[in-house]
Chains A and B, each alone.
Chain A
């Protein structure tokens, strides 16, 4: 136990020190983790053997990441990117594999080894690239999407690759290592339900597993989450979210499929769910930590001894891999019409080998496809090329972007596409109407409410809304508050509405806050909290009814409307003074000054209504004031005088 504590402490300590430091130096967190790994691994030697095991564990971060990616991706969107997925992704994997294989054959390597190496190196790093793109806010650009479709295709193609590799077994290697391999297979003892089944049954089992993930996601997840949400216990919801992801990963492993693919699918199925943001919020920290751990293990796994021996060879292979991959992606991106600076983003982003490369590598080793020395060399190549990726991104940022910015002053192609977003907190009787008006005008809104039943009701009316407590900062983050322009506060809880306004004003000062107030005091509180526009929920309704009352009492409807307008105008004039008075009075109740002001306001309103005839220039009287009787003669006199 103590050993685990110490180990965990070392890893966490390295991350806590290295990542903020890397950020401060203007590097990305990925590079920070990698450096932390190098320091605690090869440099200082604090960690060693267990890195391998830890890495398998940390790969679960990739699984969680794909679940989150799936959550962001509605089935409709996935379908709309099928061309890029198959075209760009398929060609990238195919061409890169072929190119590397050809190079291997030229160097006289056995074709089976060459093909395997080609497949291993064709894959890029989903973890590094997506993490970096997200951090830089580039994931919604054209380049980001191109990169994503390639990565997604790679994550899927890994599965047939895993099936293909055993067929490429080298007879010589197999014979030599047959006993050892057998032992290894037994000792690893992967739990696999489908081992030894005939092919057609295997196919049925696989299809059944996928179908159960999709159907379960559609029909079972909602009642489950609703049941959990009603308990109101946050940690139980976290447990449920973890249970879902781990359960799917387990199911997929049992039938021999990629857990990443399974959770991705579950994510896509749940992308429309009202619990989407709550799920994201709960999984996000786990994903972040595990991915960090994964990057640390990559750093720690770099074998400096091999590197020192064969540094020239390693450098040459790394350079060749990056060049080949970059060239192929660049050409593909060009033929798929991805614009110039986006094209470079995709090119540099996908030029490395990836974590699935490690997976394939160890799998190939187990299946006697690759000799151990080549495997060691390749592991180094994969790790170093991943290590270089952040450097390539920095190159993109510092060298390429300024160049393109200079040469294309009006570049507008890669603007983030879902801009103008509005977050609405609270979808009760007030928020609902606001939302309907916005949505009817094609504005993208994200609606949050902490009442699962209410969200459910609205969903039945096809109003898109999400379950979650809008006063939780992390939930706001996953709901996309960073990119929002407007925040509408329409929650029922007076105090929390004010807290929310204060929080947004402090943390996201660029966001305009529009708030619903219950009454005058609440209005002042929200104003003090920094809300830009506040509407009292009963104000306009009451005035409209009052206006109707005047009409029923015999006032001409247009006159009644004018009186209402004058009422509002007069009150608007005094609201600032009333507010200042409220701010200065210590007890936010009815201080004497406040009462005085209120009476003044009432007098002003009466004057505006024209009740106090002493004031000739009352607001309502003034409009369409006819000229005095006899003015026409007066004008005629002037005319005569001029003639």
Chain B
């Protein structure tokens, strides 16, 4: 049975989006994928906990899709974590609803890839910076996959990188849905981008 994918999309200024909206559009076209635009559904931040937990139950893979804000998610995704990942649901005693599900981030970052390393001005790799999310997943018993990232996103359109990025994302969604991801390889990788080639090759 193919896996059901839930994309939680958080972008607070979508009228300026150049990469994330094409990603969402492509995701919508993939079978077995549900996209939730958090800012559209909860413009007042009043997140419906019951509905969100029900969504989590109905899917096998959860994707946080967002532009990076201060090395983290936009605030509504943090709000979502704070409210939805309740004790007794996601963790703690009897909190086993998320056991075995997979979580990954699909993000865009303004800085260049060189900035996200020990010698760069951001000092840490993107996987290192997203540790809080990784640990959240771990505590909830989820399998954490490395992030799928686009760097230099402010000029990606001008650099002609968007089309390729979106196409790769479509392939990743296919692989995730059909369980063609080498989890062990992925667990070690810094970015999902790096292990895509072998993934797609083995798939063919």
Segment of B66-74, B86-94, B159-167, B182-190 engaged in the interface with chain A:
B86-94
Chain A: minimal CB distance from B136 (Å): 13
CB distance from A374 to the nearest CB of B (A): 65
- From A565, A623, A625, B87 is in contact (CB under 8 Å) with A625
Chain A residues near B139 (CB-CB < 8 A): 635
- B197 within 8 Å of A (CB atoms): no
6 smallest beta-carbon distances between A and B, as pairs: A627-B87, A565-B46, A631-B92, A623-B83, A627-B92, A622-B49
Indicate whether A219 reaches chain B with its CB closer than 8 angstroms: no
Q: Is A587 an interface residue (CB 8 A)?
A: no
**Contact status B92-A635, CB under 8 Å:** yes
Q: Which of A588-629 contact B (CB under 8 A)?
A: 622-628
A-B contact pairs, 24 of them (CB 8 A): A565-B44, A565-B46, A569-B46, A622-B49, A622-B86, A623-B49, A623-B83, A624-B82, A624-B83, A625-B86, A625-B87, A626-B87, A627-B87, A627-B92, A628-B87, A628-B92, A631-B87, A631-B92, A631-B93, A634-B92, A634-B93, A635-B91, A635-B92, A635-B139
**What separation, in Å, do the CA atoms of A565 and B82 have in the docked complex?**
17
Closest to B47 in A: A623
Q: Which residues of A contact B49 (CB under 8 A)?
A: 622-623
Q: How many A-B residue pairs have CB under 8 A?
A: 24
Query: Cα distance A569–B46 when bound, in Å?
Result: 9
A-contacting residues, B64-120, CB 8 Å: 82-83, 86-87, 91-93
Per-position 1/0 for B143-181, Cβ under 8 A of A: 000000000000000000000000000000000000000
Write out the residue numbers on chain B whose beta carbons fall within 8 Å of the beta carbon of A627.
87, 92
Q: Which residues of A contact B82 (CB under 8 A)?
A: 624
**Once bound together, how far apart are the Cα atoms of A625 and B89, in whole Å?**
12
Interface string of B16-49 (1 = CB under 8 A from A): 0000000000000000000000000000101001
Cα–Cα, bound, A565→B48 (Å): 11
A626 to B49, CA, bound (A): 15
Residues of chain A touching chain B, judged by Cβ–Cβ distance below 8 Å, are: 565, 569, 622-628, 631, 634-635
Specify the chain B residue showing the minimal Cβ separation from A623: B83
Task: A412 to B87: give the CA distance in the assembly, Å.
Answer: 53
| B87 cross-chain contacts in A, Cβ below 8 A | 625-628, 631
Residues of A within 8 A of B46 (CB): 565, 569
Q: How far does the Cβ of B56 sit from chain A's closest Cβ, in whole Å?
A: 16
Give bound CA distance, A221 to B123, whole Å: 73
* Cβ contacts under 8 Å, B83 to chain A: 623-624
Q: How far is the CA of A219 from the CA of B132 in the complex (A)?
A: 70
With a cutoff of 8 Å between Cβ atoms, the chain B residues found around residue A624 in the complex are: 82-83
How far apart are the CA atoms of A569 and B93 in the complex, in Å? 29
The complex places the Cα of A237 from the Cα of B33 at a distance, in Å, of 61
Output the least CB separation between B177 and chain A (Å).
Answer: 31
Docked pose: A569 CA to B48 CA in angstroms: 9
In the bound complex, what is the Cα–Cα distance between A625 and B44 (angstroms)?
Answer: 19
A223 CA / B58 CA spacing, docked (Å): 67
- Nearest Cβ distance between residue A173 and chain B, in whole angstroms? 71
| Nearest chain A CB to B17 CB, angstrom units | 19
Could you tell me the distance between the alpha carbons of A625 and B83 in the complex, rounded to whole angstroms? Answer: 8
Closest Cβ of chain A to B141, distance in Å, is 10
Instruction: Write out the residue numbers on chain B whose beta carbons fall within 8 Å of the beta carbon of A569.
Output: 46
* Minimum CB–CB distance for B137 against chain A, Å: 15
Query: A628 vs B91: C-alpha distance in the bound complex, in angstroms?
Result: 12
Q: With the chains together, A304 CA to B107 CA distance in Å?
A: 78
The residues of B that contact A625 with a CB separation of less than 8 Å are 86-87
B44, B46, B82, B93: residue with the most chain A Cβ atoms closer than 10 Å: B46
What's the nearest-Cβ distance from chain A to residue B87, in Å?
A: 4
Q: In the complex, what's the smallest C-beta–C-beta distance from A604 to chain B, in angstroms?
A: 15
Residue in chain A with minimal CB distance to B48: A569
Of A569, A623, A628, A634, which is in contact with the most chain B CB atoms at under 10 Å from its CB? Answer: A623
Smallest Cβ distance from B80 to chain A, in angstroms? 12
Given contacts A628-B87, A631-B93, 13 further A-B contacts (CB under 8 A): A565-B44, A622-B49, A622-B86, A623-B49, A623-B83, A624-B82, A624-B83, A625-B87, A627-B92, A631-B87, A635-B91, A635-B92, A635-B139
CA separation between A624 and B46, bound complex, in Å?
A: 12
Which residues of B are found within 8 Å of A565, using beta-carbon distances?
44, 46
B49 nearest in chain A by CB position: A622
B79 to chain A: closest CB distance in Å? 9
Candidate in A565, A627, A634 with the most chain B CB atoms within 10 angstroms: A627
Given the complex of chains A and B, what is the CA–CA distance between A622 and B86 in angstroms? Answer: 9
Distance between B58 CB and nearest chain A CB, rounded to angstroms? 20
Least Cβ–Cβ distance between B102 and chain A, in angstroms: 20
Which of B82, B92, B139 counts the most A-chain CB atoms under 10 A from its CB?
Answer: B92
Compute how far the CA of A622 lies from the CA of B83 in the bound complex, rounded to whole angstroms. Answer: 8
- In the complex the two chains form, what is the Cα distance from A565 to B46 in whole Å? 7
Q: How far is the CB of A122 from chain B (nearest CB, A)?
A: 49
* Nearest CB of chain B from residue A569's CB, rounded to whole Å: 7
Which of chain A's residues have a CB closer than 8 A to the CB of B93? 631, 634
Which residues from chain B contact A635 at a C-beta distance below 8 Å? 91-92, 139
Least Cβ distance of B164 to chain A in Å? 24
Q: Once the chains are docked, how many angstroms separate the CA of A626 from the CA of B82?
A: 10
Measured CA separation A628–B94 after assembly (Å):
13
Give the Cβ gap from B150 to chain A, nearest Cβ, in Å: 28
Please measure, in the bound complex, the distance between the C-alpha atom of A622 and the C-alpha atom of B49, giving whole angstroms. 9
Enumerate chain B residues within 8 angstroms of A631, measured Cβ to Cβ: 87, 92-93
By a CB distance below 8 angstroms, the chain B residues around A626 are 87
Q: Which residue of B lies closest to A569 (CB)?
A: B46
Task: Say how far B69's CB is from chain A's closest CB, in angstroms.
Answer: 21
